[in-house]
A and B are shown apart, each in its own frame.
Chain A
């Protein structure tokens, strides 16, 4: 029994059903935000040290994100936070009425980093809807491509986007006492990363000039090249098809990929040691850093990397093939793993628009999923995207993001969710390099130019900005070794003549077909839900990790993950007054999620001859 809030129970066979005797099972009352906002206004009017602080745009994140806070600069507390996606994401509207295959190419444009994964998830949705099963090598190649896409993404986050927040250049300004301590503190991981003290390490985290920043830029190239060897083009491959991939794979291809993948073996060791040292150093300097970006450990992930001999694309069997993945699907609530079944994850997600710039839809076309489990009217297969632009108002509606919730609770997504759930679930099928212990993940990194090393990442006791980043660093090694394991499977297949990479298919021209792609972007949880009627898309819904993480308050009054994390963040930077307050702790909290909002870009502006191709800024100063 994994649901506490949804009106769903399970019978003795484990089949979900609506609880008996509940009339209007999915209705809810919207909790008013007026009282909270009025109280804040009173505080702002009465106290000079309570200030509205806007981060608009939030820099060093992908895309258009703005953040409004009310901060008590005397007590060092954030009293309120509002996350704003400042552009409309229109893909769901654009895709309506099109050939389902267009979803691969159009949804790929949702992101300039995760284009490959959007294309793949679209292919998965079609495979489920139209009963298309890819051959094993096609699955292996997809697994490798998406591992490589993540290997592009993880260094970006750790050293270009979030990383500079921990650099000498930033810390010297925000907390000079910590930088002084850093120069005096030996780095425990010196034998792995090569930095004798924390000051030197943080100096090399400096943006643009630090060698770790520059090395990360270089590693993105290594990953990109490897991806292109398989997928021909990045970030928007044209080789992803329902039923596999449309490329010719040879031993030479695999060898060239290997030559690049091996570079991540040493880089994984180094990245993990760096973020272990950074995290422990900050905790030691001030234990309150454990509160920065903290929130309950409520985590969701679809799992990624399919078992080539288990994945059959069907919804009926998705619980089974999901649990065979190299990263286990699951939901963690208050630190406890409550399910690893994809169907539970799927039927538990609802998307609310009560504080977003959308109209509520009224239909409830699908009362159950294809397996007969009950579906909410707010579920993606029932949701409609009806944009309704209007002014921002903290009491009413303030963002283009929606509020996805699982079992009506605020959960977060991230690459780290893969580590958390896989470590806790102990369901990882046998593989050569990764072991799930229930409380940790052990990753065997082979010798490259540095000796072989066993990395062990432990499920942390607290969940905060530092642990998100630390887990992301370990995700490099995890991802690299999943790729390596798949590489070996692929080599075995090639040697045995199992060379097919795609399955022929046809899009049925009649009838209703529904499907979903459950995968993960570099930043975590990603789903595409497809409804096709008579051969064309009648509904398409994309739920990205940043849709979840950047979400506004839900109808029950619960803030979204960014908002929660920021409100739990103590202000630890040194400042003499509002004029030199930089908000670095708030920014650390936000950036630890790796916000990615480019799904808001490339938007057609209705009634005009224009497509917005990059972000805009929104001045939130005058917002009610």
Chain B
């Protein structure tokens, strides 16, 4: 069972930097040898091509990102098992267009990876609703408050049984 933990986000945009910044923190913890880490903030097409280099290598990928979807409490952690699903070809094309022209987006990444069949069957997404998308290298207070929960949750998502994760986003705390 080979597992990849990937952060996605923009650097220097406070809460939207959560993915890559948390990744650095997570890498300092003790993990089994079969867990790898990668910063997937460099564009979905490049990520897809990187995954293509190791076809079928990973059995599970855990994504971590600050994702603003609106209507959610800032700092709340949402977790879900991402089920394979591709939108229409027009929408995939738009994702590719954004991807090759510099937009870093978890949703685009998931769609592009799915379309080009680079993802393993097991994908878990952990999102934190941002409060601040301002320039800066620190988190807002609500997101900072969520940070201590994340290492445990990511560990459960990476190493725990997958059936404990729902298919649609739900507010997550540490599972018991």
Chain A contact residues, CB within 8 Å of chain B: 59-63, 111-113, 115, 156, 160-161, 164, 207-208, 217-218, 220-221, 224, 235, 596, 598, 601, 604, 609-611, 613-614
Contact = CB atoms under 8 A, between A and B. Distances in A.
Given A207-B89, A207-B93, A609-B133, A156 B13 contact: no
Contact of A611 (B49, B97, B135): B135
Interface of B: 10, 13, 16, 43, 45-46, 49, 89-90, 92-94, 96-98, 100-103, 105, 115, 131-135, 140
A614 B105 contact: yes
Contact of B96 (A160, A224, A598): A160
Contact of A62 (B89, B92, B102, B135): B102
A224 B101 CA distance: 13
A609 B132 CA distance: 6
A112 B131 CA distance: 25
Nearest to B45: A217
Nearest to A611: B133
A387 B134 CA distance: 19
A111 B102 contact: yes
Nearest to A113: B101
Nearest to A608: B134
Nearest to A216: B100
A132 B158 CA distance: 52
Contact of A598 (B102, B133, B140): B102
A-B pairs with lowest CB-CB distance, top 7: A112-B102, A62-B101, A609-B132, A610-B133, A611-B133, A221-B49, A207-B93
Given A59-B94, A208-B96, A221-B49, A613 B102 contact: no
A61 B97 contact: yes
A598 to B, nearest CB: 6
A598 B101 CA distance: 8
A610 B134 contact: yes
Nearest to A62: B101
A59 B97 contact: yes
A161 B97 contact: yes
Contact of A113 (B16, B100, B131): B100
B46 A62 contact: no
Contacts of B102: 62, 111-113, 115, 235, 598
B46 A604 contact: no
A161 B97 CA distance: 7
A208 B92 contact: yes
A415 to B, nearest CB: 15
A59 B95 CA distance: 11
Contacts of A111: 101-102
Given A111-B102, A112-B102, A614-B103, A208 B97 contact: no
A63 B93 CA distance: 14
B46 A224 contact: yes
B63 to A, nearest CB: 18
Contacts of A610: 132-134
Given A111-B102, A113-B101, A604 B135 contact: yes
A479 B89 CA distance: 32
A416 to B, nearest CB: 19
A310 B132 CA distance: 48
A598 B100 CA distance: 12
A111 B96 CA distance: 16
A610 B89 CA distance: 31
Contacts of B46: 221, 224
